């Protein structure tokens, strides 16, 4: 009887050892250090460069518009030259769209890379999601966003349009949903 | 009654580009006396130092959001009647309802144009 128990115990230990080996292979395949030290920081730098480029282009375009609007039209030749010069600068500034498009493509590539690795890891380990936020900091941020109704810009068709908003402000809208009421009373 | 173009207006937004856009649109509408603040707490400080005829505020700012600013303004007897327009990308119905419940005078969803800004200012001062 004792021999049978020992054999079963050894088999279980071997299975656990195999599982740990498999888990180590999958963790290694995740290449978490490559993601953490290289790919994610690089994606962050691309996004920061996008913000900077769009801000720079917006400022250039607005400066041109402001200069054209403030220009003195009493001298038509000088006025035309100024407007032409500023509009050329607007066209040049719009080149940001090409560069930022390429940067966005690199960020998408990184996200797809992370998705593929995490999906493989989740499938191989049979990982199940834990409920709730991963840290106190994340929990506090989730709570703040819920309390202050912070969602960020919606995708097309997801938020209310100006006409629907006008109806709510003017008091003509249909009744709020239970979810709306619950959120307001929470 | 239409808006007095000489009244001081406070724009509250954490993006300088958006402040510049609104400032230019207001200029086109004849409003020249325009101040700015980068979040709700800075706006509140400015409002306690000067009487504004209108506040135009974004929603999503840190540390104090436009929604919190609106509630602070409405709960302060000295500031409570200041006309307040929310200009934001937050366009969920629950946001609009919450803002209305908190006492917002009008609500503009980004992106918007000069005509929308003009019509909402007109509507606030027609009330």
Per-residue pLDDT of B11-36, as tens digits, reads 999 999 999 999 999 999 999 999 99
Judge whether B38 and B14 are in contact, CB under 8 Å.
yes
How many other C-beta atoms can be found within 10 angstroms of the C-beta atom of residue B79? 17
- Tell me the average pLDDT of chain A: 89
CA A135, CA A80: separation in Å to the nearest integer?
Answer: 60
Could you read off the pLDDT of A90-128 as tens digits, one per residue?
A: 999 999 999 999 999 999 999 999 999 999 999 988 888
Question: Cβ–Cβ of A149/B98 closer than 8 Å?
Answer: yes
Rounded to the nearest angstrom, the minimum Cα separation between B106 and chain A is 7
Of B24, B68, B108, the CB nearest to A66: B24
pLDDT band at A2, cuts 50/70/90?
low
B86 strand-pairing partners: B57, B107
B127 touches chain A (CB under 8 A): no
CA B71, CA B125: separation in Å to the nearest integer?
Answer: 20
pLDDT of A19 > 70? The answer is yes
Question: Cβ–Cβ of B97/A176 closer than 8 Å?
Answer: yes
At residue B109, the 3 state secondary structure works out as: strand
Question: Cβ–Cβ of B94/A176 closer than 8 Å?
Answer: yes
The pLDDT, as a whole number, for residue B66 is: 98
Could you read off the pLDDT of B73-120 as tens digits, one per residue?
A: 999 999 999 999 999 999 999 999 999 999 999 999 998 999 999 999
Could you read off the pLDDT of A24-55 as tens digits, one per residue?
A: 999 998 889 999 999 999 999 999 999 999 99
Structure tokens at A91: 């066209």
- Compare B92 and A186 and report the one with higher pLDDT: B92
pLDDT band at B55, cuts 50/70/90?
very high
- Cβ burial, residue B56 (10 Å; 0-12/13-18/19+): buried
The pLDDT, as a whole number, for residue A157 is: 82
Rounded to the nearest angstrom, the minimum Cα separation between B31 and chain A is 16
CA A176, CA A185: separation in Å to the nearest integer?
Answer: 12
Of the listed ranges A79-83, A152-156, B5-9, B100-104, the least confidently predicted one is A152-156
B87 touches chain A (CB under 8 A): no
The pLDDT, as a whole number, for residue A174 is: 47
Tokens 């200012």 appear where? B121
pLDDT band at A179, cuts 50/70/90?
low
pLDDT of A173 > 60? The answer is no
CA A104, CA A46: separation in Å to the nearest integer?
Answer: 8
């Amino acid at each position: 009887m004792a021999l049978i128990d020992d054999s079963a115990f050894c088999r279980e230990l071997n299975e656990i050892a195999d599982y740990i080996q498999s888990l180590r292979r999958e963790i290694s395949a995740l290449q978490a250090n490559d993601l953490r030290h290289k790919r994610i920081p690089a994606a962050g730098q691309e996004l920061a460069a996008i913000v900077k480029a769009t801000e720079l282009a917006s400022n250039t375009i607005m400066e041109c518009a402001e200069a054209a609007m403030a220009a003195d039209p009493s001298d038509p030749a000088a006025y035309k030259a100024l407007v032409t010069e500023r509009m050329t600068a607007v066209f040049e500034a719009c080149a940001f769209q090409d560069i930022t498009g390429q940067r966005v493509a690199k960020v998408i590539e990184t996200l797809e890379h992370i998705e593929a690795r995490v999906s493989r890891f989740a499938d191989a380990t049979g990982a199940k999601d834990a409920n709730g936020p991963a840290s106190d900091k994340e929990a506090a941020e989730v709570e703040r966003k819920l309390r202050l109704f912070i969602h960020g810009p919606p995708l097309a068709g997801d938020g209310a349009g100006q006409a629907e908003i006008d109806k709510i402000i003017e008091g003509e809208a249909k009744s709020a949903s239970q979810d709306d009421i619950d959120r307001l009373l929470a | 009654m239409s808006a007095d173009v000489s009244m001081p207006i406070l724009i509250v937004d954490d993006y300088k580009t958006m402040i510049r856009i609104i400032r230019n649109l207001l200029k086109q509408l004849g409003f020249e006396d325009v101040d700015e603040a980068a979040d709700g707490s800075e706006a509140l400080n400015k409002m306690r130092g000067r009487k504004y005829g209108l506040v135009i505020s974004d929603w999503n700012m840190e540390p104090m959001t436009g929604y919190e600013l609106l509630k602070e303004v409405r709960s302060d007897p000295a500031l409570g009647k200041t006309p307040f327009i929310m200009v934001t990308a937050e366009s969920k119905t629950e946001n609009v309802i919450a803002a209305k419940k908190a006492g917002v005078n009008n609500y503009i969803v980004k992106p918007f144009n000069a005509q929308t800004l003009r019509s909402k200012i007109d509507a606030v001062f027609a009330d």
